[in-house]
Amino acid sequence: MDAREDILFRVRVALGRTDANRPAAAADVQAAFAARSQGPRPQLGADLLARFRHESGVQSSSVDEVATLDEVPAAVARYLAERQLPQRAVVWPKYAALPWAQAGLAVEARAAQGDDAVGITGCFCAIAETGTLMTCSAPDTPAATSLLPETHIAIVPLSRIVAGMEDGWALARAELGELPRAVNFISGPSRTGDIEQTIVIGAHGPYRVHLILVRDC
């Protein structure tokens, strides 16, 4: 017997699977998919923005806020200058058209490579409960941009802040239909506690995550 048949056979025997009780099992699967019932979750109140800002801080992300998308490049330039980082970045193709050059930034719209220092992305939505970005991969939103560079800057429209992960899934189902290849939930810079359980920021991913909230977009 091949491994698949063998394993499934043993599971079926152990569960007492018969032709008679199989429909009930299949019905339970369908019922779960139809209901998509949510587990217990915290009630966050009305001010999701305040919560998102607070939790982002807990996750060691820094936060800035601007009025419109067009103001983002200047905010990026300011952030990089303050930290004496190079005024050069890769950006999601989705945001290629923002006035980067005007702000004095050399920006390329492509997937990030190993030696890119700064990556600029947006997000599919942002989750207030934990200060988390939810990103969805697509041709104009590649996953590596938020991962390879030492500095990750993310554009977060206020209109895309939701309460919890469940709300992110609901948005994804409504707007994308099926899930993209990669949904990444990102909560601050990468870290490790593997040596003496001492938390160190900057493991394999970014050392810094900077969020630029955008009011009108």
Partner 1 sequence: MRSQAMFFKARVGDKLADRVLQENLGKAKSKFVDARARAVAEYERDEGADFEALREAGKEIRNRTLANLDVWLETFEAKATERGGQVMYARDGAEICRLVTEIAQRHGVNKVVKSKSMLSEEAALNQALAAAGIQPIETDLGEYILQINDNEPPSHIIAPAFHKSKEQVAELFMRTHGSSKKSGIEEMTREARETLRGHFLSATMGISGGNFLIAETGSVSLVTNEGNGRMVTTLPKVHVVITGIEKVIPTLEDFATLMRLLPRSATGQHISNYVSVLTGVKGADELDGPEHLYFILVDNGRASLVGTEFQEMLRCIRCGACMNHCPVYQTVGGHAYGWVYPGPMGSVLTPLYTGIANALDLPHAATLCGQCSVVCPVKIPLPELLRGLREKQVEMDLRPWSERIALRLWGWVARRPKLYALATKIGVRYLNWLADGTDRIQVLGVAPEWTRGRDFPAPEGRTFRELYAERRTGQGR
Please, which of residues 71-90 interact with partner 1 by CB under 8 A? Answer: none
> Residue 214: what are its φ and ψ, rounded to 5°?
-120, 120
Write the CB contacts of 158 (distance below 8 Å, at least 6 apart in sequence): 49, 213, 214, 215
What is the spatial distance between Cα 49 and Cα 129, in angstroms, rounded to a whole number?
10
Structure tokens at 2: 């091949």
94 belongs to the binding site for partner 1 (CB under 8 A): no
Residue indicated by tokens 């490579």: 113
Q: Name the residue type at position 191.
A: R
Query: With respect to partner 1, which residue has the nearer C-beta, 14 or 20?
Result: 14
Least distance from partner 1 to the Cβ atom of residue 98, Å: 19
The torsion angle over the Cα atoms of residues 186, 142, 65 and 117, rounded to 10 degrees, is: 90
Interacting positions 102-131 with partner 1 (CB under 8 A): 110-111, 114, 129-131
Number of residues that bind partner 1 (CB under 8 A): 78
Structure tokens at 182: 């990669």
Q: Which of 11, 50, 106, 176 binds partner 1 (CB under 8 A)?
A: 11
Least distance from partner 1 to the Cβ atom of residue 169, Å: 4
Interacting positions 16-55 with partner 1 (CB under 8 A): 16-17, 22, 25-26, 28-29, 32-33, 36-45, 55
> Residue 26: what are its φ and ψ, rounded to 5°?
-65, -35
Least distance from partner 1 to the Cβ atom of residue 215, Å: 26
What is the spatial distance between Cα 61 and Cα 207, in angstroms, rounded to a whole number?
10
Q: Which of 189, 208, 213, 214 binds partner 1 (CB under 8 A)?
A: 189
Over the window 143 to 182, marking each residue x when it contacts partner 1 by CB under 8 A and - when it does not, the resulting string is xx--x----------------xxx--x--------xxxxx
Query: With respect to partner 1, which residue has the nearer C-beta, 138 or 217?
Result: 138
What is the spatial distance between Cα 159 and Cα 152, in angstroms, rounded to a whole number?
21
Query: With respect to partner 1, which residue has the nearer C-beta, 207 or 215?
Result: 207
Least distance from partner 1 to the Cβ atom of residue 41, Å: 7
Helix (H) or strand (E) holding 213: strand 208-214
